Amino acid sequence: MKPSPLPPAAPIPVILDTDIGTDIDDTWALAFLLRCPELDVKLITTASGDTFERARLVARLLEVAGRTDIPIGIGVPLENSPLYQREWVQDYALADYPGQIRPDGLQALADLLRQSPTPVAVIGIGPLPNLAALLLQAPDVAANARLVGMFGSLRQGYSGSPEAAAEYNVRLYPHACRAVFAAPWEITMAPLDTCGTVQLTGAKYQAVRASPDPLVRAVLENYACWTKHNQNPLYGGFDPTQESSILFDLVPIYLAFSEALVEIERLPIVVSDDGYTRIASGGPVLRCATRWKDLEAFEDLVIARLTERPPV
């Protein structure tokens, strides 16, 4: 008698904390997240800058994706960050979102983490003031969560530079990052060493451009809007007809459910006041995705999920 097949694993409950609207990679990451059946999205919170405007962008994307079952929490508004995709939501009112809007995003985070019957993966793809404030107000929630995020630069910087950089998500609020890293939860960190090498080009990118899927079309519309209005040399210079931008934030989405394609090192990480993440004794030990085992396989997975086609 053949053994009975194992039942499929239950999807992992996740919260996404995002500064969507500044770099286009958050928009790509949200689309990828919604196409990963291993993950069950329980809440999306908007982080830093104009968090209300960021929530409008999330809401319209969720409507396009048919996922208005996902609540949106409005995070702590802080610095005046540019929102290069504002044009895409200029006629969209957040009040029209048929799903739930939580004006107090921190309370929404605390409620969900306290009430979840299973541990939650918190995916951070923006600066960390929301999570730092959450841990200050409700430190107990770390017991039912783990953090997976796009943070830092260890041995490689932007554009493949051999010099580590003060990465944006850390540099903007290094003290918040330090507090989050010190909390008693497991942290898996995707630094520029792996995140900074992900870009879709050639036939892979054209497969995305050819997709009629409404969510993919919305991502590409946002990408065109972003390239039109973005004058930041750090993020600009991409041709939306030929290539994606650097897709930093897709990596922590993947790491929330699998680590098969990366190498993980357990390293002590110290956050400096000027936003560098350095390997140094005395810092909290984090799980760091420092190298790719198979970047091409990851890109193929992204294409398959976004276009909902099986990988070749």
Radius of gyration, CA atoms only, the chain? 18
> What pLDDT does residue 234 have?
64
Cβ(146)–Cβ(121) under 8 Å? Answer: yes
Nearest to 254 by CA among 38, 72, 43, 70: 38
- The per-residue pLDDT for 7 is 54
pLDDT band at 260 (very low <50, low <70, confident <90, very high): very high
**Residues 3-29: what's their mean pLDDT?**
86
Kindly indicate the confidence band of residue 295, based on its pLDDT and cuts at 50, 70 and 90.
very high
Note the pLDDT tens digit of each residue in 188-208. 999 999 999 999 999 999 999
Burial of residue 24 (CB within 10 Å: 0-12, 13-18, 19+) is buried
Query: What count of residues does the chain have?
Result: 312
pLDDT band at 312; cut points 50, 70, 90: very low
Mean pLDDT across 69-77: 97
Taking the alpha carbons at both ends of the chain, their separation in whole angstroms is: 33
Residue 9: predicted pLDDT: 79
Q: Contact, 171 vs 148, CB < 8 A? A: no
Sign (positive or negative) of CA dihedral 44, 50, 54, 55: positive
User: Can you give the pLDDT at residue 211?
Assistant: 96
**Of 301, 202, 206, 308, nearest in space to 255 by CA:** 301
pLDDT tens digit sequence for 119-175: 999 999 999 999 999 999 999 999 999 999 999 999 999 988 999 999 999 999 999
Q: Is the whole-model pTM more than 0.75?
A: yes
Question: What is the Cα–Cα distance from 249 to 116, expressed in whole angstroms?
Answer: 25
- Compute the mean pLDDT over every residue in the chain, rounded to the nearest whole number: 94
The whole-number pLDDT of residue 230 equals: 81
State the pairing for strand pair 285-292/277-279. Answer: unpaired
Averaged pLDDT for residues 230-239:
74
The H helix count followed by the E strand count for the chain is 11, 10
pLDDT of residue 311: 45
Residue with tokens 């929530």: 55
d(C-alpha 261, C-alpha 255), whole Å: 9
Give the single-character DSSP code of 110.
Answer: H
Q: Helix 214-229 vs helix 295-307: angle between axes, to the nearest 10 degrees?
A: 110
Q: Which CATH superfamily is domain 12-307 in?
A: Ribonucleoside hydrolase-like (3.90.245.10)
The pLDDT, as a whole number, for residue 308 is 81
What would the pLDDT profile of 85-102 be if each residue is shown by its tens digit?
999 999 999 999 999 999
Query: Once rounded to an integer, what is the mean pLDDT over residues 1-6?
Result: 51
Domain boundaries, the chain: 12-307
Dist. CA 125–CA 130, nearest whole Å: 12
**Model confidence band, residue 236 (pLDDT cutoffs 50, 70, 90):** low
What confidence tier does 235 reach under pLDDT thresholds 50, 70, 90? low
Q: Higher confidence at residue 311 or residue 54? A: 54
pLDDT at 1 over 60: no
